[in-house]
Structure 1
């Protein structure tokens, strides 16, 4: 298909091409905790914001331990971790608030930690801080994991994942979901899980399989199952592509791409039906353009 104007995005350790007008909303996790932009009041004011959060925690009262605040660890570049009790009435779980600073940019991640593993949390969060940097829309060249507006250097195996939701203005009602995760064990493949669906679809009028099977024309071999159907004059789609990946592998994670077009509700004169695609061929063209572009970023491992 013609991909004029499409843009290459870095998600995790993957590269994916999407139409220029795509709007993207992503969630990223590293080592069991989400990483996201800190509030706007923290941007350009990392030291003041972190100091303020420490004061807030010191002022909050624990039922038996005095203050909710436990201690602070400072890392290079202005990054820091604040340890506190998770709940005012319990004494067995701590919470870490880690602030990753790069220039005027501040990101944060929050998670729970056992008191017996607190020193390990210092090492873990300090390692993330040392490897963290802010980035724009450019594609990095070094080893590491892309998040929205940031980059975490390294290729050590830890739990890491992302899920991005994509909306396309030229295809109203269509949603793309792209996700990837490392895994401790490999689950049954897409085709194995959906083996019995074909008979169910055959029994329902207006619903059928457009394509099903292994993909060999993609940068990474995977499996796809593409279903379309009609309901009250609306054309609906459920497309799925999956790479099973390998266990405990940063280089070969589980990867999935989904395209969904669900039935539009309240269709009437004031809210007319707007088809996502003019026909099945257009839906398949967009699908192939995205799925065939999914590849590991060179140098990411």
Structure 2
């Protein structure tokens, strides 16, 4: 179910809701927690686990589930995925099955669907195939690579063009598009050779790019993108999202964006805190925290919270990568119904003070991984 919270219906921005805003922003003191709230926060934060995301580290509660959704990209060319656990023998069997499946497929016009398979090493397999069985011609290709690494499988996919066949020699459009299949095969071979699987507690010390379940060794010189979503099994409405892009350069920082007053008003919300956050080695780090109505199924809403932090917003590059962290309390969850078939809603799992305390415990741990660059 895709439900966009009321708080996200506009471009995030900040308006002057404090009478006077200093350089550090508006940071009213957080009221003390009750005994029950303190117990809840202690249970969440007493055991934290370091996660390596991109070239950053962040500590999250151990009770949080591993990334339920993850998107990893390299240089706008390659999509990276960590697949399930397989022994080397099972990996080889699965590669044979994939090859057989691709060989059996045909394009709707009769062209081959499968073009080649290669093994740069005993644990790496590369397939070249059509992008789909219904392409207008057979020039749109996909290079699909797999690597077995310590009982896990890393998959990489890159789109390519191949107009090397004689039939394209007199095609005006084909002459404007170069064949890229050899370069993409070489790129995936290089990336797969540099990639390895990684357990959660395996924090690399050498230069490279982390994602959940894997690591790509190498200096910071290309565009790297990662998006990961974490939630709690016992608190499904509480979600922490990480986004990173080593080349994103926005026109403004989080606190420079206008137009939030209407957003706050529409969501019956209130700005809780905003300001500059100091993180060693990271520039332009700002946070913006608000409370308001959160959309639920059936057009219902509940009171919840939306917190956001951005770093390196205007200076994103391989050595100062852009990142953002978002936490929702009261986010949309799977629909439930009462005896009459009506949508039911559950209050947000955390109180406002609990949400603020969890946010502070998590966001203040963000740092560049030593040796990452």
CA contact (8 A) 2:245 2:316 kept: no
SS at match of 1:163: strand
Aligned to 1:16: 58
Counterpart among 264, 284, 288 of residue 356 in structure 2: 284
SS at match of 2:147: strand
1:155-234 equivalent positions in 2, closer than 5 A: 155-169=219-233, 171=235, 173-183=237-247, 185-193=249-257, 195-198=258-261, 201=264, 203=265, 206-216=268-278, 220-221=282-283, 222-229=285-292, 234=302
Q: What TM-score do the two structures reach when normalised by structure 2? A: 0.70
Change (3 A) 1:6 1:62: same
With 218-227 and 267-276 compared, the bigger mean Cα shift is at 267-276
1:62-73 equivalent positions in 2, closer than 5 A: 62-63=107-108, 66-73=111-118
Shift of 1:146: 1.5
CA contact (8 A) 1:43 1:106 kept: no
Aligned to 2:159: 112
| Greater relative contact order (CA < 8 Å, ≥ 6 in sequence) | 2
SS at match of 1:158: coil
Change (3 A) 1:61 1:41: farther
Aligned to 1:299: 371
Shift of 1:236: 1.2
Larger radius of gyration: 2
With 19-28 and 46-55 compared, the bigger mean Cα shift is at 46-55
Counterpart among 183, 192, 196 of residue 133 in structure 1: 196
Deviations 1:185-210 (Å, cap 9, x if unpaired)? 434322233x2213653x56952111
Q: What TM-score do the two structures reach when normalised by structure 1? A: 0.85
Shift of 1:44: 4.5
> RMSD over aligned Cα, in angstroms?
3.1
1:64-103 equivalent positions in 2, closer than 5 A: 66-88=111-133, 89=135, 90-103=137-150
Shift of 1:293: 0.8
SS at match of 1:53: helix
Query: 1: CA distance between counterparts of 2:92 and 2:301?
Result: 58
Runs of 5+ in structure 2 lacking a partner?
Answer: 1-40, 163-178, 295-299
Change (3 A) 1:282 1:219: farther
Query: 2: CA distance between counterparts of 1:293 and 1:87?
Result: 44
SS at match of 2:180: helix
Shift of 1:253: 1.5
